[in-house]
Each structure stands twice: as structure tokens, then as C-alpha cells.
Amino acid sequence: MTGSDGAGVRVAITGMGLVTPVGTGVEAVWESLSQGRSGIGPITQFDTTGYPTQIAGEVRDFDPALYMDRKTARHVARYCQLGLAAARMAVEDSGLRPSTMDPDAVGVVLSSGAGGMEEIERGHRMLLDRGVSRISPFTAPMMITDIAAGLVAIELQAGGPNYAVVSACASSGHAIADGFEVIRRGDAVAMIAGGAEASLTPLMIGAFCQLSAMSRRNQDPTAASRPFDLGRDGFVMSEGAAVLVLEEMGHALSRGARIWGEVLGAGASADMYHFTAPDPEGRGAARAMRAALRKAGLRPEDVDYVNAHGTSTQLGDIAETLAIHQVLGERARTVPVSSTKSMTGHLLGAAGAIEAAACVLAMDRGLVPPTINLEDQDPQCDLDYVPNRARPADVRVSLSNSFGFGGHNASLVLGRGTSANSKGA
Amino acid sequence: MSATNPAPSREPLDFSELQRMAGEILGVDADRVQLDVSFARDLAADSLDLVELIMAIEDRYQVSLPPERLEGMRKVGDLWEFLMEQHGAA
């Protein structure tokens, strides 16, 4: 597989760390995705009485003490705890040791859509109930959306470029795109890139309920996220974190790292249409996908798998379907397209990264994860969505879409690595 | 005074309770919290940690530390001395 970027710099994926509602760790997540297992259940993190939506994808049994000391765990929001856990796993998986390297060599782009929402809510409750003097001095650092990137740099001693990219549900798609570009332009040898989200809070869930954007299938949680199905009634919010280690290919090969996959291209665009609704014709999404393919130097017929944004909203599913038709043309009729959100729910600012990981695993294992709960396909959604069962396939190139409120679009083109079971590339 | 209320200031001061609270908030073993140890040097507490600890102490013992005294809180003993003063005044 060769990327054909102008600079000639290839960017490998050498580590992955996943903390999600369908499992923690690469193998646990893959087991769920390949078996079509949903991670959605009743919300247990707060009392949802009176909420139209009472279900979500929670990360269960997460123990921050496995990944950080007690004091750090007390002083960071849950999204940071999840993000640090995923970053530690990814870096360990990669075999890189940033603390032993030039401090500029390894950077971090760790995104979140909402940041430390529970700390904003806690601090605000304290302000209203007991006055300004009772706001914790840690509220400010705990609530901001960039602090996970800073925390990872401190904990892993990775001193290269460091920030968060915020673009709602496209945040970690953009984070990976940005990490890729940082390496291509020579500003770091490796980037710890991904997203973390923990927004299952009374205000966030309530606010999204008011948008009528979320499924209310409270009695049947595992069937609630049903992209491209006529019976869908909105997306299902989830929490979690997914982090990839991106690394300059020569550096990765010279140290004998496992090459999980390769970032071949990335594209970004704006819908220029509406705060929350997608362009109904998918034009912005199509431009992002085209840009990603162009940067990868690939043609539509080179795409073997599309991991759709596919949130399980009517407007979004139809617009993305149209966009895929526009970009892939004839290839759209045959290419497998699936939404792993049918199983994971929507990890918002971590969605792009978990879905990039799903693409890497699909290529590595030669198996396309399914879109579950697809029983009555929407006639306006006329692609091959790999319904309900994973499908063996020789996947060399994947396209992963992430679209966010505000009309932010990010598309990634990913290539198969050398560790893949199904060789032949 | 309800049973669930935090201890009133007239309740006898208990150093082990201060050790427990400081240990939890500063993320150290409670037995490391001794009168002659420095918050910054020995317990790795920065100014934010100290503010958090003092807020918890204020809530627990219903006292209020004047801002000008924050500067003088260098050792656990300084905080204990302040609590003793407040307790005596109650």
C-alpha cells in the first residue's frame, strides 16, 4: 500500500487503545463488533426519571485507579480519565516510550465534543446552592475540553504539539486528520490522536432530549440504535475513548513496530447549511470524502469498505447515503457500508476515533462489522449496509466518515497494515 | 442539629479526622499527614490542592479561613493550630 501524498511521508498506525460501551481493549471491542453485540443499556449514572430518553452506552466497571494515581483521578473529569486510559493502552500497544525520546518527537491531539460536562454541572450547582466561595479550584481545569491532551502529555511525557480539536461529533476524526498532518509536515515523529467523551449527564442528556434527536426506545435499549432502518427514532448517546498512535512509517519500521494500518488521506469541509441538520443532499459530506480520497491518491473503486457516520437519524442517514453515491458512483452499488454506531451508540467526540479503529480492525481481520438492528431498510437508504452479521471481505482501503453539529465534516482514508491476517495487498 | 449534619465546631477536634481528610484529598496515606510535614514539600500539594483541602475543612468544622491566613499554611501543624484556635473561640 502506498500513500501518494506530496511530501512522500507515510503515516502508520502502530497502537490502539479503546475504552467503550462494547468493551475495553482492542480484542474485547472487536469481539463485540464482529459478533454484532450492542453496548446500549439503561442510564445508571444519574436518575433519569422524567427524561424521555433513559438509555445510553455507558462504559461499565471503569476503574480509573488502573490508569492513574488517586489524586489525578480526583482532579480530572471522567472524559479525561477515559482518555488517559485509552492513551496509555495505545502507547503501550505501540511499544513507543515517549519519555525516553526527544520531547518534541511525540505529540498529542486528544479531542472531546463536550469536555468535563459533569464538572460544569457540579460547579454550577455549587454556585447556585452555596455561592462563589464554594466552587472547587479544580472546576476550571476539570471542565475545559483541551485538558485531556495536556494530561496525557504530563502522564506519558509526550512533549510535542499538544491540543484538542473541537468539532462536535467529528472531533476525533479531525484529531486523527490533524495528527496525520503534523507528522507529514515533520513537526513530530508520532502523534497520540483520538477522542474522549463522557457526557451522560443530566444537562447533556436533557438538552439532547429537547432537540428530539435521541432514541426513546427505553424498553428495548439494544435495539435502539438502528441506522438506515425505517424503525429508527434517533441516535443513542454513548461515552468512551479511542486513541491511536500515529507514527512516521520509516520510524515505525526501523524499530520493528507492528503496523496496524496506515492513514492514507484526510478531508474536511463545512456543510454551510444549518446548526444541527445536515445538508439534505449531503454535499458537504461528499466534499470531505472526495478531499480525503484525493489526498490519498485513490479512486472510488479503490474503496473496499465505508464506516458510515450513520447515527440512526433519518436526516443524517439519508444525506450520508446520497453523499456516498455522489462520491463513489458505480462503486457505491457494491461497496459494503456499515455503521458500528448500531452497536457502540454515538460516542460524539470519540466517535471518529473508535470508528477509525473499527476500520483498522476490519482490514486487519478481513471481516466487515455489521450494521445491527437493520430489519426494515429505509428505501431512501439503498446501499449495502452489511445487515446484522459481520461479513468476510478482503479490505485494503477503508473510508471513515464523521459529521458534527455545526456542519463539520471529516473523512479519513485508511489503509491495511502489514500485521493483517488476510495478506495479499 | 440533625444527625446527618457535619460535625459542629464544638465537637472535640480529632487529629485523625484531619489526617483522613487530608490523605483523601491530597492522595497520600493518612499516616503521612503529621504536624511537622510540609504540604508542598512532603505531600506534593500545590496551591489548588491546599484550597480544596481548606474548603473541605471549612465545611467539616464550620469555620472560615481568612484569605490572608492562607499564605501561612505551610505545614499540617499550621492548619491544625488554626483549627484549635477556632475551636477554642467557638
A:B CB pairs within 8 Å: 21
Q: Choose, from A80, A174, A209, A309, the residue flagged as catalytic.
A: A309
d(CA A393, CA A36): 16
pLDDT tens digit sequence for A70-80: 999 999 999 99
Give the domain extent around B71: 15-89
Q: Choose, from B36, B42, B46, B78, the residue flagged as catalytic.
A: B46
pLDDT of residue B69: 87
Which residue from A147, A118, A156 is spatially nearest to A17, judged by alpha carbons?
A156
Q: Is residue B83 part of a domain?
A: yes
Q: Choose, from A174, A346, A381, A408, the residue flagged as catalytic.
A: A346
pLDDT tens digit sequence for A14-68: 999 999 999 999 999 999 999 999 999 999 999 999 999 999 999 998 999 999 9
Q: From chain A, which residues contact B within 8 Å (Cβ)? A: 69-72, 74-75, 134, 136-138, 141
Q: Is B55 on the interface with A (CB under 8 A)?
A: yes
d(CA A272, CA A292): 19
Q: What is the mean pLDDT of residues B51-72?
A: 90
Q: Judge whether residue A2 has pLDDT over 50.
A: no
User: Can you give chain A as a three-state secondary structure string?
Assistant: CCCCCCCCCCEEEEEEEEEECCEECHHHHHHHHHHCCCCCEECCCCCCCCCCCCEEECCCCCCHHHCCCHHHHHCCCHHHHHHHHHHHHHHHHHCCCHHHCCCCCEEEEEECCCCCHHHHHHHHHHHHHHCHHHCCCCHHHHHCCCHHHHHHHHHHCCCCCEECCCCHHHHHHHHHHHHHHHHHCCCCCEEEEEEEECCCCHHHHHHHHHCCCECCCCCCHHHCCCCCECCCCCECEECEEEEEEEEEHHHHHHCCCCCCEEEEEEEEEECCCCCCCCCCCCHHHHHHHHHHHHHHCCCHHHCCEEECCCCCCHHHHHHHHHHHHHHHHHHHHCCEEECCHHHHCECHHHHHHHHHHHHHHHHHHCEECCECCCCCECCCCCCECCECCCEECCCCEEEEEEEECCCEEEEEEEEECCCCCCCCC
pLDDT tens digit sequence for A338-371: 999 999 999 999 999 999 999 999 999 999 999 9
Whether B27 and A137 lie within 8 Å, measured CB to CB? no
Q: In the structure, what pLDDT confidence band is assigned to residue B11 with cuts at 50, 70 and 90?
A: low
| A125-134 contact pairs (CB < 8 A, 24+) | A134/B55
Q: ipTM score of the complex?
A: 0.80
Compare CB distances from A69 to B25, B27, B48 and report the shortest one's residue: B27
The reply to whether domains A11-254 and A264-416 share a CATH topology is yes
More confidently predicted of B88 and A80: A80
Domain range annotation of chain A: 11-254, 264-416
Q: Is B26 on the interface with A (CB under 8 A)?
A: yes
Q: Is residue B8 part of a domain?
A: no
Q: Which CATH architecture has domain A264-416?
A: 3-Layer(aba) Sandwich (3.40)
Q: Cβ contacts (< 8 Å) between B49 and chain A: which residues?
A: 71
Q: Judge whether residue B7 has pLDDT over 80.
A: no
* Total structural domains within chain B: 1
Q: Tell me if residue A408 is catalytic.
A: no
Q: Is residue B2 part of a domain?
A: no
Overall size of chain B counted in residues: 90
Q: Judge whether residue B24 has pLDDT over 90.
A: yes
The CATH number for B48's domain is: 1.10.1200.10
Whether A72 and B52 lie within 8 Å, measured CB to CB? no
Q: What is the mean pLDDT of residues B53-75?
A: 91
pLDDT tens digit sequence for A105-152: 999 999 999 999 999 999 999 999 999 999 999 999 999 999 999 999
Q: Is B52 on the interface with A (CB under 8 A)?
A: yes
Q: Cβ contacts (< 8 Å) between B28 and chain A: which residues?
A: 71
pLDDT tens digit sequence for A398-414: 999 999 999 999 999 99
Q: What is the mean pLDDT of residues A222-245?
A: 98
pLDDT of residue A420: 65
Grid coordinates representing A9? 511521508
Q: Is residue B3 part of a domain?
A: no
Q: Tell me if residue A80 is catalytic.
A: no
Whether B27 and A134 lie within 8 Å, measured CB to CB? no
Q: Which residue of A has its CA nearest to B23?
A: A71
Other beta carbons within 10 Å of B84: 11
Q: Judge whether residue A313 has pLDDT over 80.
A: yes
Q: Judge whether residue A6 has pLDDT over 70.
A: no
Q: Is residue B64 part of a domain?
A: yes
d(CA B80, CA B36): 11
Query: What percentage of residues in chain A have a pLDDT greater than 90?
Result: 95
Q: Choose, from A169, A209, A359, A381, the residue flagged as catalytic.
A: A169
| CATH fold label, A11-254 | Peroxisomal Thiolase; Chain A, domain 1 (3.40.47)
Q: Is residue B47 part of a domain?
A: yes
Q: Is residue B10 part of a domain?
A: no
Whether A137 and B25 lie within 8 Å, measured CB to CB? no
Mean pLDDT over each residue of chain A, to the nearest integer: 96
Q: Is residue B1 part of a domain?
A: no
Q: Is B81 on the interface with A (CB under 8 A)?
A: no
d(CA A294, CA A317): 24
Q: Judge whether residue A295 has pLDDT over 80.
A: yes
